[in-house]
Structure 1
Amino acid sequence: MRISVVKYSIFFLVLVKFSPVFATRTFKENEPCKRVVLYYHDILFGGNDTANATSARATNGTGLGKFVLGMLVVFDDPITKDQHLHSTPVARAQGFYFYDMKTTYNAWFTYTLVFNSTEYKGTMNIMGADMMMEKTRDLSVVGGTGDFFMARGIATFQTDEVEGFKYFRLKMDIKLYECS
């Protein structure tokens, strides 16, 4: 009886050691497996620009503080490889952001980059706080499909252009640390 317990214990340890279910992934923090730099363009609907608008307020600010706390914006924004709004989009950013502080401008983003270009196919999901007054901000890449299946990483935002509440452009430096 004791020999069979030992056999089963050894078998179980070998199974755990070599099973993909129990495998651990390692990555080096400073060495992404994929890196993509893209530009996010947002044109907020202002009442008379329906042809050009790519986003619209779903709710107005609450009036608490002077930083539009509570304003929710839904968007379908073009993503380009360069800073030019009229360049051929490589993806669309589809999702929403809302302003979530009453003492400064800060937004919380959640969106999917939908790729359909010759270079990439699939989606990439990004979410997190955009502390707009900071020079750079990191948001989490929390998954994806196609060329970005199960992707994990960081999307570093940097404000590239702002025109009041009508238009802004963000540079997104996306570094993936888990790639398929």
Structure 2
Amino acid sequence: MATWSKTSLIVAAIFLLSSAGVAHGRSRRFVTSYDEPCKKMRLYFHDIIYDYSNSTSNSTSAAVTKPTALSTAVSKNGYFFGRMVVFNDPMTEGKALPPSLEETAVRAQGLYFYDKKDGPNAWLAFSIVFNSTAHQGTLNLMGADPNIETRDISIVGGTGDFFMSRGVATLRTDAFEGFKYFRLQMDIKLYECYV
């Protein structure tokens, strides 16, 4: 097994850090600010869950676990404790659903599961995938989504235009129609990013 000298490691680190500032053919610099975000954006997350009564072409998420004996015994209002949902949801700059649910330039892809026995408390892990002329890459988010008016989840990293970005996304439920559809307003603030 090859061993690296201290000098080799330093040279490799400098090379990686210097090459990280170039993405999509342009030079960028890394900005860290804990007072003022280096980038802000507002997106709307649209989740349409398949529940056997709606069409599969109109659904963007599906439960991948069945209710267990524990979850049906202790859960109220259909928020089955331990239920996991996988999604590939469209995201928009405005509140309206896009004309094509499958062909949007920004998507949220990941999962959430209910982690409270008596309410819609969830835990999220997903990526926002950007594929447009404005942005290319991903933002990766994870964290608790408690049943309160506004809540924050962590932005733990990114790729492409959002390489190594970190920050916070403030979520607010903007619309809710039973167990079939919800829309979240997501205010994204990046405090570490390349500009």
Of the three residues 51, 60, 66, the one matched with 1:60 is 66
Query: CA shift at 1:68, angstroms?
Result: 1.4
Using the alignment, how far apart are the partners of 1:68 and 1:152 within structure 2? 32
Tell me the secondary structure at the aligned position of residue 191 of structure 2. Answer: strand
2:44 corresponds to: 39
1:14 corresponds to: none
TM-score, normalised relative to structure 1:
0.81
Query: CA shift at 1:49, angstroms?
Result: 1.3
Of the three residues 81, 86, 92, the one matched with 2:93 is 81
| C-alpha distance after superposition, 1:77-131 (max 9, x if no partner) | 0011110112673311110000000133200000011110111100110000111
Structure 2 segments unaligned to the other structure (5+ residues): 1-12, 15-29
Query: CA shift at 1:27, angstroms?
Result: 4.3
Of the three residues 18, 26, 50, the one matched with 2:56 is 50
Greater radius of gyration (CA): 1
Amino acid at match of 1:102: K
Q: State yes or no: 1:145 paired with 2:150.
A: no
Amino acid at match of 1:71: R
Looking at both structures, which has the greater relative contact order when contacts are Cα pairs under 8 Å and sequence separation is at least 6?
2
Amino acid at match of 1:155: A
Using the alignment, how far apart are the partners of 1:56 and 1:105 within structure 2? 16
Tell me the secondary structure at the aligned position of residue 138 of structure 2. Answer: strand
Q: Which moved more, 1:87-96 or 1:158-167?
A: 87-96
TM-score, normalised relative to structure 2:
0.75
Note closer, same or farther for the CA distance 1:155–1:87 as it changes in structure 2 (3 Å cut): farther
Using the alignment, how far apart are the partners of 1:137 and 1:60 within structure 2? 27
Pairwise CA RMSD: 2.1
Using the alignment, how far apart are the partners of 2:36 and 2:105 within structure 1? 24
Q: How many residues align?
A: 159
| C-alpha distance after superposition, 1:124-156 (max 9, x if no partner) | 100001112x11000000001001000100000
